[in-house]
Structure 1
Amino acid sequence: MSETAALAGSGLHKRFLVKETGQTVPAVTDVSLEIPAGTLTALVGPDGAGKTTLLRMMAGLMKADEGRLEVLGIDVAADPQAVQDRISYMPQRFGLYEDLSVQENLDLYADLHGVTQEARKERYRRLLHMTNLARFTSRPAGKLSGGMKQKLGLACTLVRSPELLLLDEPTVGVDPLSRVELWDIILQMIHDERLTVLVTTAYLDEAERCARVFVLHEGRLLTSGTPADIQAQANHLCFIAIPPADQPPRILQARLLDEVESIIDAVPQAGAVRFIRRADADKQRLDALLDGIEVFPAEARLEDGFMVLLRKWHDAEVETIAPADAEAEDTHRPATGIGDEIAIEVKDLVRTFGEFVAVDHVSFSVRRGEIFGLLGPNGAGKTTTFRVLCGLLPASSGFVHVAGVDLRHARAVARRNIGYVSQKFSLYGDLSVRENLEFFGSAYGLHGARLRDRIRTVVQQFDLGGRENSPSGQLPGGFKQRLAMAVGLLHQPDILFLDEPTSGTDPLKRRAFWRRITALSQVGTTIVITTHFMEEAEYCDRIVIQDAGKLLALGTPQEVRRQAGGEDSKLSMEQAFIGIVARARQREDATHVETAG
């Protein structure tokens, strides 16, 4: 370990025993890395790459089976407590005590870390100012929004001044505004205290902030370097294609993704499609695929280099784009696309909790076969709106029709025609994959040969083969998401509700997910989705942006970008989202000042 390194590992291995098979599975294989003191470093990679396992070994919570790991010059396997006394670690599910207030949580963690009363005063003042939680010190943690909980978790992690901070996906499940605020806090701590930070993240734009990036896949280190080094993998291979004006970009994207011999990756971007071609792609074949569509070269990004690396590693992994999903899912339905029929109609929807107005007179409609996005900051009311549409919450007032049924009178009837995938894994963890499918299938009214046929179809469609007898609670995160999708689509619903289904998943899995969603929409399934990945709004036909229970914007992604930045706006969807929400809050603050005056 060099004198300037805060952390160094060589030849690290970690294996886990799978109880149901008695076999060991490698989680980390021969990983070596070194992280200089006072730097910001990222660990990135697909689900199951070994990121969290590495972080837990660094924090002294788990021992490597082989190899040597030094943290702050200490052999962590020999003296984990000495390491833990000098570092702070924020896991994905930070242990806030939801019945305790913000202040009581801070006090509890200060007590656990032995922070003196004298040191607490200045530390609390600074942390509460940076996290903007000073006004909420008496509020129970359980009543904070998702973004505020993450900021409180970070404040509790930093209640003492560590020499090394380990962050495991700190921005998963939080909105773009909260992401910006969390990163402001992290960068300020690095600047003010020369803090060394190692972060795992599913957001590649976050990794671009880091001095060095380590790319992991299936427990192995693929490469490491500066963001520019990794980005260079995709230099001269990135392009922007402009689809016809009457065609959603996701249609062209799906066509490109299906051409695996020519295309590495494709994503909608600002009404166009950004794609990476293979270096050895046949030009004539590519020209025929694009069929006269206007194409421009584009600068490579870190995410582009990341995707090139993953394709090189696992070029045969056709599962990631599965073009056969539409056939596997709904062969009995004709390809219909968006129809004129209204699948969901909402007029003047209000939902209150006591005196708190969570949804404030919201109106919109969704057509059959449309992909409709509900966007908003944490606490904006979008999840409440979503739960009302699913029939999980009654409306306080207003008109809500879903699948031709008035939810005021027949929520149970409407639920037979909808599928639902929640943000948190909500299946039965003690039941196997097959037992969950059988249980929910029978609950949806499927029996006998029909149930067996549908289980066989979704197991194949979502690549769950070989896992049928595994307890679902022990599945990796990516498999849990696929099982939840399989259960939600088992009865072939007319409307599918998806609540942040890609939260925490890597770009590769997100491509696979949206390829399936595009296939479903093409056969007439209506999709309603909430997401904090603003790039995913580009897949939607129309989106709603809510904040403080009110509807701020409604329209196509291009219409929303224009609302944020004018006719010639080249804003990303994230920039448009932040601009629309920030302006609405400024107007609200100005109104309060005038009223108070």
Structure 2
Amino acid sequence: MTARDERGPTAFARLTAVTKRFGRAPPALDGIEAIIRGGEITGLVGPDGAGKTTLIRLMTGLMLPEHGTVEVLGHDTRRHPAAIQAAIGYMPQRFGLYEDLSVQENLDLYADLRGLPAEERARTFAELLEFTDLTRFTTRLAGRLSGGMKQKLGLACALMRKPQLLLLDEPGVGVDPISRRELWQMVGRLTEEGIGVVWSTAYLEEAEACDHVLLLNRGRLMFTGPPREMTARVDDRVYRLTGIDGRRRDRLARLLDDEGVIDGVIQGEAIRLVMKPGVTPPRPLQDNESAGRTTAAPPRFEDAFVDMLGGGPGGRSRLAETQRCFVVDDNSPVIEARGLTKRFGDFTAAAEITFDIPRGEIFGLLGPNGAGKSTTFKMLCGLLKPTAGEGRVAGFDLRRDAPEARNRLGYMAQKFSLYGDLSVIQNLNFFAGVYGLSRAKKRERIELMKEIFDFQPILDMSAKDLPLGLKQRLALACAVLHEPEVLFLDEPTSGVDPITRREFWTHINGLVERGVTVLVTTHFMEEAEYCDRISLIYRGRSIALGSPDEMKTRAASENLPDPTMEDAFIALIQASEEAA
């Protein structure tokens, strides 16, 4: 592309040698050169702490670069921030609306803040509510909206005065696949009107849907261009192993220790591998028929991303190696749900939920925002008392013996559940005390967590000030301090990057190999592939129960012969809607 092309009329934002530091830390952004164009979705992609939010805030004029220049819509952010802010829309990473105001009250407030004339409000509100499908919910408090609906309301407020450039900081975090697709469709319609969109994300399947990608890591720009150019870097290096004899988690762990394997993940009953250039799959996979069959697979953006960063964390989990082993001696369930039902007044959040989970299995609860999966999850944790039905954990009835049941499990909440005003070491000490560890055991386990999760440099930092990936590591460390036999994980990797996600699942897979039983909720469909079985919950009821591959088989059709897990999720919910 020529310099003349780059400075054409479609260049809505230009970053030239942009550097930004915070105190004595390494640069949050280091010499960034980038172009943002109108009529396109530009993906701002990278792991936690890569500099994505900093870059977006620089483009809003809310923050200034230390070196270099940021031009937005022809204005320098140093000289004309007000002109930029009047012409852009900005949706921050954290829900920036008022949860104790209704949908309509939030729209009124943002109309005031944006100076929308009174005579334009009725028409604008009607258009935004129709665009976001929120017309039916104008009186509902924002705090009572599902995750997807909150993001739609945030988008409506960002579009209060139609912007030329729309900046979205991780709008897909915590949003189910249906709502995420709806968000993409809405934003796609905006680009057809010539609006430029920046979509920040750690979800790399979202990056594949962008027109252009800026890939950041540790403040540096690693790649800029169409996603397909990035994906092409791993052409002919991606394989799928099927027909696995034995436990696929153990097989994956051993494969990841092979020096020729860059990355590997579980896909239902299969394993997906990315190899180093010029390296074929490990020989046993080719020569030993009982070990499975290896076939070439189409590459994904995520494969190229992990390859560019040097590969995943490997297959070994120190955390699992130090975990006491729970022997899988029979098929008796460790977690049981029998007709679990929860009502809040006239509203039934969960109805007749039934399943059981044997020792050493990963069981997933999937469903759209507001479907009832978190309610089911909390009943089985002993955090909510069921209206009807019964649940048991490790042999303890949740109605009669909830405290005893909770002592057998580790819990990692959907939202950061630790004490933000306490430091890392104070949180570890507090939870070790809550779990009743002896002085010697407490010292031993905390030292181990410090080593495994590399907490030593951040021990005195307040938990609330940690980057998301470190917050999640701390939450997991606190949940496993007492070596629980059951682990409850409520969206444990929401918003974290693929490398951190792989680190988490290396630990989880290793713990399951030691006989730990895991119940997990997730909106990340690639993550759902790690589950042995899944219950898909919709409108408070379980509409499907089975393995990931069984779910995909149910969703297959003539038009969709080889569905992904996300395809299956959407198809099964649509089928349930049609049957209702």
> TM-score, normalised to structure 2's length?
0.95
**What amino acid is the match of 2:301?**
L
| 1:88 aligned residue | 89
2:274 aligned residue (259, 269, 276)? 276
Gap regions ≥5 residues in structure 2? 1-5
SS in 2 for 1:469: coil
| AA at the equivalent of 2:196 | T
- Partner SS for 2:415: coil
Q: How far 1:369 sits from its partner (Å)?
A: 1.1
> Which amino acid counterpart does residue 496 of structure 2 have in structure 1?
T
Contact 2:342 2:348 in 1 (8 A): yes
1:137 aligns with: 138
Residue aligning to 1:574: 566
Q: State the partner residue of 2:283.
A: 287
What is the alpha-carbon distance in structure 2 between the residues aligned to residue 400 and residue 270 of structure 1? Answer: 27
Question: Deviation of residue 256 (structure 1)?
Answer: 2.1
**Pairing of 1:47-58 with structure 2 (within 5 A):** 47-58=48-59
The 8 Å contact of residues 270 and 572 in structure 1, kept in 2 or not, is answered as no
SS at match of 2:309: helix
Q: 1:409-461 CA distances to partner (integer Å, 9 max, x unpaired)? A: 12111111110001111211221111110111011001311101001112222
Residue of structure 2 equivalent to 1:267: 265
**TM-score calculated relative to the size of structure 1:** 0.92
Counterparts in 2 of 1:322 and 1:77: CA distance versus 1, 3 Å: farther
Decide whether the 8 Å contact of 1:270 with 1:571 is kept in 2: no
Relative distance call for 1:465 and 1:542 in structure 2 (3 A) is same
Which sections of structure 1, spanning at least 5 residues, go unmatched? 18-22, 589-597
On the 8 A contact 1:46/1:507 being kept in 2, the answer is yes
Please point out which of 470, 476, 479 is paired with 1:485.
476
Change (3 A) 1:264 1:580: same
Aligned residue among 547, 558, 574 for 2:549: 558
- Residues 204 and 427 (structure 1), Cα distance of their counterparts in 2 relative to 1, 3 Å cut: same
Report 1:174-573 matches (<5 A).
174-191=175-192, 193-244=193-244, 247-259=246-258, 261-281=259-279, 283=280, 286-288=282-284, 292=288, 293-311=292-310, 320-321=313-314, 323-325=316-318, 328-330=321-323, 332-333=324-325, 336=327, 339-565=330-556, 570-573=562-565
1:8 equivalent in structure 2: 14
Is the partner of 2:21 in helix, strand or coil?
strand
The alpha-carbon deviation at position 204 of structure 1 amounts to 1.6
Structure 1 residues 291, 347: closer, same or farther in 2, change over 3 A?
Answer: farther
Deviation at 1:80, TM superposition (A): 1.4
CA contact (8 A) 2:264 2:272 kept: yes
Q: Residues 135 and 417 from structure 1, CA distance in 2 versus in 1: closer, same or farther, beyond 3 angstroms?
A: same
SS of the equivalent of 2:96 reads: coil
1:586 equivalent in structure 2: 578
How many angstroms apart in 2 are the aligned matches of 1:266 and 1:347? 36
Q: Shift in Å at residue 535 of structure 1? A: 1.2
**Tell me, what secondary structure is at the counterpart of 2:26?**
strand
Residue 14 of structure 1 aligns to which amino acid in structure 2? K
Q: Distance in 1 between matches of 2:102 and 2:574?
A: 27
**2:41–2:197 CA contact under 8 A, matched in 1:** yes
CA distance in 2, matches of 1:13, 1:339: 59
In 2, Cα distance between the equivalents of 1:76 and 1:52? 16
- Distance between the aligned counterparts of 2:299 and 2:76, measured in 1? 40
User: Per-residue CA shift, 1:290-339, capped at 9, x if unaligned?
Assistant: 6633111122222222122111xxx6xx7x23504255431x426x5695
Cα distance, 1:526 vs. partner? Answer: 0.5
CA apart distance, 1:203? 1.9
Change (3 A) 1:338 1:60: farther
Over 3 Å counting, the alpha-carbon distance change for 1:71 and 1:339 in structure 2 is farther
SS at match of 2:222: strand
How many Å separate the matches in 1 of 2:378 and 2:514?
Answer: 25
What is the deviation of 1:111? 1.2
Tell me the residue number matched to 2:3. Answer: none
**Cα distance in 2, alignment partners of residues 306 and 276 from structure 1:** 11
| Identical pairs, percent | 47
SS in 2 for 1:450: helix
Distance 1:527 1:41 in 2: 37
Correspondence for 1:115: 116
The answer (yes or no) to whether the contact 1:338–1:367 under 8 Å persists in 2 is: no
**Number of equivalences:** 570
Partner of 1:72: 73
Q: CA deviation at 1:175?
A: 0.4
Is the CA contact 1:89–1:166 (under 8 Å) kept in the aligned structure 2? Answer: yes
C-alpha distance in 1 between matches for 2:320 and 2:569? 35
Kept in 2: contact 1:341–1:367 (CA 8 A): yes
Distance 1:189 1:363 in 2: 43
- The runs of at least 4 consecutive aligned structure 1 residues that moved more than 6 Å come to none
Indicate the larger mover: 491-500 or 140-149: 140-149
Report the Cα offset of residue 357 of structure 1. 0.2
Q: CA deviation at 1:8?
A: 0.5
Q: Per the alignment, do residues 290 and 355 of structure 1 end up closer, same or farther by CA in structure 2, a change over 3 Å counting?
A: farther
Please state whether the residue corresponding to 2:161 is helix, strand or coil.
coil
When residues 291 and 112 of structure 1 are mapped into structure 2, their CA distance, relative to the original with a 3 A threshold, is farther
Q: 1:155 to 1:291 in 2, by over 3 A?
A: farther
SS state of the match for residue 28, structure 2? strand
Query: How far apart are the structure 1 equivalents of 2:39 and 2:121?
Result: 24
Secondary structure in 2 matching 1:114:
coil
Tell whether the 8 Å contact from 2:69 to 2:76 is kept in structure 1 after alignment.
Answer: yes
